[in-house]
Amino acid sequence: MAEIELSLAEIESLVERVFKSNGCDDSNTEALVRTVVSAERDGCISHGLFRVPGYVASLRSRKVDGKAEPQVSKKTPALIQVDGKSGFAPLAIERGIPELASAAKLLGIGIMTIRNSHHFAALWPEVESLASQQLIGIACLNYMPVVAPFGGKAPLFGTNPIAFAWPRENNTPLVFDMATSAMAQGEVQIADRDGLSVPLGTGLDAHGNMSTNPRDILDGVLLPFGGYKGSAIALMVELLAAGATGDHFSYEAEQADNCDGGPPPGGELIIAISPEVTAGPDWSRHCEDFFTRFEAIDGTRLPGMRRHRLRDGTENRCVNDLLLERIEQLCRPVAQNDRPGLA
Ligand code: NDP
Ligand code: PYC
């Protein structure tokens, strides 16, 4: 495996070129650039440039509209609904968050459902954007059936990520953002690409046997994290992201998808809570006392801290050479009949 070093500015310019040359308008390009670059900046290589070939495949197959203009509406004072209009999720999220934040600041809580969009990214951008407005953020979404419920060997759940952000005065927010599978599928794919093994308990091969071989697991099934408890969280995410939004369960997303390798159609649920309203003006000091006790325990660290530390680094980021070559190829014009997604 060889890697090439790129500055964040070079990554940004590459990502902008690849989306513009594949039919995205300025608004969608800018939202996607922010999403992909923030993942590379924060060291989440499974959800940055690694996802670009999938995004482009979905533009070229016309599954996703690179010029989609999401529609935001307020169904009740606390409920914001976003119709992604068959576009990628980043713009739908960015369009809806200001309304969601206003609702939460006024009422103490706001809920946003996103439907009819395609999510292929990490979730911390949506919850961090709420935390930057002194709001608690919770976001979750489902995917395609690649995870077996606890005790089973057949897939039903997606890798169903859930993210949580807690605002902190004069500090980066507390954020966790995680798949509810033992490993995110993207991490297993990267282990496969790089010839690495994965921990026992990550998944089963196609015969239902435990395996440490990522290729065998990708051909078989992932397991939820944390046994039956993680399985219950994955089940909750499936219900919140599909049952509560009215969009696809993971098995329905698979049926609706054209299997182009890009993100399937689906929904997302985002909740915003104002601690100022729910707990009162002393909420921040009260919670900082708690964080002080947490951090005083040897061997611990708050989730999100590693990522925020990486964010501050100005050094070049390392990118897999074959991935870079592939993305450069995807920037180049292709024969008309190979580019059905372009207008
Ligand atoms: P990780 O297992 O890498 O990390 C999960 C969380 O645990 C992070 O917030 C991380 O914080 C925290 N953490 C890790 N180690 C420690 C530690 N020692 N002490 C305290 N906290 C710790 O994430 P996943 O691999 O599960 O997910 C990766 C990404 O994939 C996520 O961003 C997720 O949103 C995305 N994803 C997206 C999907 C989609 O459909 N769009 C589906 C599945 C996943 P820190 O970052 O600081 O290490
Ligand atoms: O890593 O599991 C994953 C994933 C699925 C969709 C986007 N990321």
Question: Which pLDDT tens digit goes with each residue over 182-239?
Answer: 999 999 999 999 999 999 999 999 999 999 999 999 999 999 999 999 999 999 999 9
The three-state secondary structure class of 59 is: helix
> How many residues appear in the chain?
343
Minimum-distance ligand 1 atom for the alpha carbon of 306: 47
Does the pLDDT of residue 335 top 90, yes or no?
A: no
Ligand 2 centroid, distance to 279 Cα (angstroms): 35
Give the number of the ligand closest to the Cα of residue 310: 1
- What is the spatial distance between Cα 3 and Cα 196, in angstroms, rounded to a whole number? 16
- Please report, for residues 6, 125, 339, the alpha-carbon distance to residue 43 in angstroms, rounded to integers and kept in the order given: 13, 14, 32
- Tell me the ligand closest to 306's alpha carbon: 1
**Cβ within 8 Å of residue 145, ≥6 positions away:** 155, 156, 157, 158, 250, 251, 254
User: Is this structure's pTM higher than 0.85?
Assistant: yes
Q: State if residue 179 touches ligand 1 by the CB under 6 angstroms criterion.
A: yes
Convert the pLDDT of each residue in 229-269 to its tens digit. 999 999 999 999 999 999 999 999 999 999 999 999 999 99
Q: How confident is the model at residue 339 (pLDDT cuts 50, 70, 90)?
A: low
Are the beta carbons of 145 and 221 closer than 8 angstroms? Answer: no
**pLDDT tops 60 at residue 342:** no
User: Ligand 1 centroid to 164 CA: how many Å?
Assistant: 11
* Residue 84 tokens, joined: 């992604």
- Other beta carbons less than 10 A from residue 5's beta carbon: 10
The CA 334 to ligand 2 mean position distance, Å, reads 28
Q: Is 284 known to be catalytic?
A: no
307 lines ligand 1 (CB under 6 A): yes
- The tens digit of pLDDT for each residue in 127-182 reads 999 999 999 999 999 999 999 999 999 999 999 999 999 999 899 999 999 999 99
CB 137 within 8 A of CB 126: yes
Distance CA 276, CA 297 (A): 28
Helix, coil or strand: residue 244: coil
Distance CA 68, CA 106 (A): 30
Cβ of 180 closer than 6 Å to ligand 1, yes or no, is no
User: Per-residue confidence at 333, pLDDT binned at 50, 70, 90?
Assistant: confident
Catalytic residue among 16, 126, 128, 187: 187
Closest CA to 238 of 119, 329, 129, 156: 156
**CA 161 to ligand 1 center in whole angstroms:** 9
Instruction: List helix spans (H) across the chain.
Output: 8-20, 26-41, 52-60, 89-107, 124-131, 185-193, 214-219, 227-238, 250-256, 275-278, 283-295, 305-312, 321-331
Average pLDDT in the chain? 96
Answer yes or no: is the C-beta of 191 below 6 A from any ligand 1 atom.
Answer: no
Ligand 2 atom closest to the CA of 47, numbered from 1: 8
